[in-house]
Amino acid sequence: MISRRYALIAGALALVAIATPALAQGAVAAQYRWLTFAVFGVIISITMYVTYLAAKRVKNVADFYAAGGGVSGLQNGWAIAGDYLSAASFLGIAGLISLYGYDGFMYSVGWLVAYITVLLVIAEPCRNIGKYTLSDILAYRNNPRAARIVGALSTITVSTFYLTAQMVGGGVLVKTLIGIDYEISVMVVGVLMLAYVLFGGMVATTWVQIIKAILLVTASIMLVILVWTPYGFSLPAFLTAVIGDADVQAQVALLLGDAGKNMSPTELGQRFLEPGLLFKAPIDQISLGMALVFGTAGMPHILMRFFTVPTAQDARKSVIWAMAIIGGFYVLTLFLGMGSAMHVGAVKIKSIDAGGNMAGPLLAQYLGGGPESMLGNLFLAFVAAVAFATIVAVVAGLVLAAASAMAHDLYVGVIREDHVTQEEQVRAARIATVIVGAMAITIGILSKGQNVAHLVALAFAVASSANFPCVLLTLFWKRCNTGGIVLGMIVGTLTAIGLVLVSPNLTYPLAVKAAQEKIVAAESAKLTKFQGDLTAAVEAPAQDKLKADIAKSEKAKAAAEAKIKEIGSDRTSIVGLEKPAFDLRNPGLISIPLGFLAVILGSLLYRDKRSEDMWDELYVRQNTGLLLAKPTAH
């Protein structure tokens, strides 16, 4: 088959690109970089082989979008975990725990609780009435054309936000870890992902997720065993060591500033296990929590996973497995983060990546014997390769979701009104995949250097404010109809995006300028003091220390001045505001209720006979699975 040969060529190209000599310096020492490439090569080869096998099984459109409904509950559970444990949650949460202790751990809880919503109200009904996409569910009893258009647009919006964050995050990550150029990293991620999706469709995407999730969990268990063994697997003994560590105490002192001045080292250490080091605004926390617990259930690439299993029972089983894997992983992350805070230290973690994303990988390096050792670098290489596989796999899932919205909903459903042959549908799916993939690579490269961390939060905000109310109410509320779906999607999406655009997430030049001016003033005051001290100092060591201090202050002052100059005469953020018009970083608290309200109002104000007539059918089917199509035999 031609397509299989192309899959191999694409894989070989990706390998060559990865093996291109790296230019910049990464976390992996230069003499051990070959080790990283070797581990990368092995993992990519395995996934490519799986794609090759999968390509043989993709015969029709059901295979491409939903793996022919032939995935088992256990397999799907691992795949959901693979989809969900993106670089943001896998590297990000360990990083937050390593820098902020308790608050980081508290943050991880919402990501698990989210699956309760998925389990109770989404997974089984979606399996029973859905086919390939989120819009299939919306179109069931509502005007199919209207429902498909708003559903597809929302799917593409959510996926693009998430995709951009993953591409940029992935590019930065690979550069930080092994020093490959940003642009090359983004392209390698893009080409590999395209190879998986294009040739293997959902079959390959599922298996890549499973392989990656197993690698991730194995690596984490291994590291936790290493970090916990010295303390006899006792939680109090381990945490006693963490809070007794000078690095941890210094980090808490730094975070507390003046408030921590009168605290003893023991008190500072204990403070690491108490809330409040990261989250200062409780309302914002609750808002983020809402976006997580309702947004996950509205994520198109997560919803899509339930169409790959044959029955509602398997859908249920897969969520239970996913919850066990994801929850277990976050508990492991507690040890990784705390271990990293103690063994690596916040200063070193932040020196490589300010957001703390390198906490896990650096802990791996330490546990293997440190930066100079072969084993330490092998560990680091392994974790780096898993992180890379994570990004490729998550991006593959997202691209498949966006491509299915484009091809299945917009092209086949709306433009061609379902008069399409199987061959044409598969071709449309592949073309859409290439379009979305090319778009992802382009956006990834164009967004170089942009702050994209808030894009993940934005994706969850749209999913929870638009997709979730629409899906939930069309499944469970008899009166819900086309008017509600259309209004809910529009209001939910626009308020979520609109509120973020006027929130503190954006850069406000005046605020940045004021902060930098403060630094300049503080450093200038310090300089005057140091210079006075210098003339008074008589001993050589004291003079040397002061000279070093002066040099440091001058450097900090110059950096702040450069930033002020860079801002120049800019006064407003990209939407033209001098300061945030909305105080919350996470819009969920406002936009989720508004989304629900819009669906309800839209439904009440609009008459739609079809939505009413179809209610009995939808409700009976979503509860019983009657007439559920049997999986295609392979």
By CB under 8 A, name the binding residues for other proteins.
102-103, 105-106, 109-110, 112-113, 115-117, 119-121, 235-237, 239-240, 243, 269-270, 273-276, 279, 282, 285-286, 289, 293, 313, 316-317, 319-320, 323-324, 327, 330-331, 616-617, 619-621, 623-629
The gap between the terminal CA atoms of the chain, to the nearest Å, is: 18
Nearer Cβ to other proteins (200/595) = 595
Q: What CA–CA distance (Å, rounded) separates 288 from 302?
A: 19
What is the smallest separation between the CB atom of 126 and other proteins, expressed in angstroms?
14
Q: ∠ CA 48-52-55 to the nearest 5 degrees?
A: 130
State the nearest-atom distance from the C-beta of 297 to other proteins, in Å. 11
Measured from the CB of residue 445, what is the shortest distance to other proteins in angstroms?
37
User: Minimum distance from CB of 316 to other proteins (Å)?
Assistant: 6
Q: Are 126 and 315 in contact (CB under 8 A)?
A: yes
Q: Which two tokens stand for residue 174?
A: 């690979």
Compare residues 48 and 426 and give the one whose CB is closer to other proteins: 426
Q: What does the block give as tokens for 18?
A: 């990865």
Minimum CB distance to other proteins smaller for 186 or for 323: 323
Determine whether 443 is exposed, middle or buried from the number of CB atoms within 10 Å of its CB (0-12, 13-18, 19+): middle
CB of 127 to other proteins, least distance (A): 13
Residue at token pair 């299945």: 408
Distance of closest approach, residue 278 Cβ to other proteins, in angstroms: 10
Determine the angle formed by the axes of helices 182-228 and 33-57, rounding to 10 degrees: 100
Give the nearest distance from C-beta 277 to other proteins in angstroms. 11
Minimum separation from the CB atom of position 319 to other proteins (A) = 7
Taking the complex as a whole, how short is the minimal distance between the CB of residue 620 and other proteins, in angstroms? Answer: 5
> Which of 138, 172, 171 is CA-nearest to residue 154?
138
Burial profile 302-315: b = 16 or more Cβ within 10 angstroms, e = fewer: bbbbbbbbbbbebb
* Residue number, 73 or 95, with CB nearest to other proteins: 73
Question: Is the Cβ of residue 536 or residue 629 nearer to other proteins in the bound state?
Answer: 629
Query: Residue 272 or 379: which CB sits closer to other proteins?
Result: 272
Work out how close the CB of 404 gets to other proteins at its nearest, in angstroms, rounded to a whole number: 17
Residues 6+ apart with CB under 8 A from 471: 122, 126, 134, 137, 138, 297, 298, 303
Contact 307, 64 (CB under 8 A): no
Q: Select 3 or 623, whichever has its Cβ closest to other proteins.
A: 623
Other CB atoms within 10 Å distance of the CB of residue 361 = 30
- Closest CB to other proteins among residues 105, 162: 105
Alpha helices in 229-297 (DSSP H): 235-243, 246-256, 265-271, 282-295
Nearer to other proteins, 75 or 287 (CB): 287
Least separation in angstroms between residue 632's CB and other proteins is 13
Token duo for residue 490 = 């529009």
Residue labelled with tokens 């979701």: 401
C-beta of 583: minimal distance to other proteins in Å? 15
Q: What is the 3-state secondary structure (H, E, C) of 426-486?
A: HHHHHHHHHHHHHHHHHHHHHCCCCCCHHHHHHHHHHHHHHHHHHHHHHHHCCCCCHHHHH
Instruction: Say which residues have a Cβ less than 8 Å from residue 235's Cβ, sequence separation at least 6.
Output: none
Q: Using the minimum distance from each CB to other proteins, give the nearer residue, 141 or 513.
A: 141
Cβ atoms of residues 335 and 348 within 8 Å:
no
Neighbours of 240 (CB within 10 A): 14
Residue 286 or 506 having the CB closest to other proteins: 286
In this structure, the dihedral spanned by the alpha carbons of residues 385, 387, 388 and 392, taken in order and rounded to 10 degrees, is 140
> Hey, what amino acid is at 599?
V
- Give dist(CA 473, CA 479) in Å, integer: 9
**The dihedral of CA 428, 84, 223, 182: what is its sign?**
positive
**Residue 463: what residue type?**
A
Shortest CB 72 distance to other proteins, Å? 16
The least distance separating other proteins from the CB of residue 243, rounded to whole angstroms, comes to 5
CA distance 634 to 632: 6
**Of 49 and 615, CB closest to other proteins:** 615
Query: Which residue, 49 or 619, is less far from other proteins as judged by CB?
Result: 619
Distance, CA of 634 to CA of 19 (rounded, Å): 37
Tell me how far, at minimum, the Cβ of 463 lies from other proteins, in Å: 17
Q: Which is nearer to other proteins, 48 or 592 (CB)?
A: 592
Shortest approach of other proteins to residue 232 CB, angstroms? 13
Q: Which is nearer to other proteins, 182 or 272 (CB)?
A: 272
DSSP 149-207: HHHHHHHHHHHHHHHHHHHHHHHHHHHHHH---HHHHHHHHHHHHHHHHHHHHHHHHHH
Cα separation, 595 vs 588, in Å, equals 10
Which C-beta is closer to other proteins: that of 417 or that of 578?
A: 417
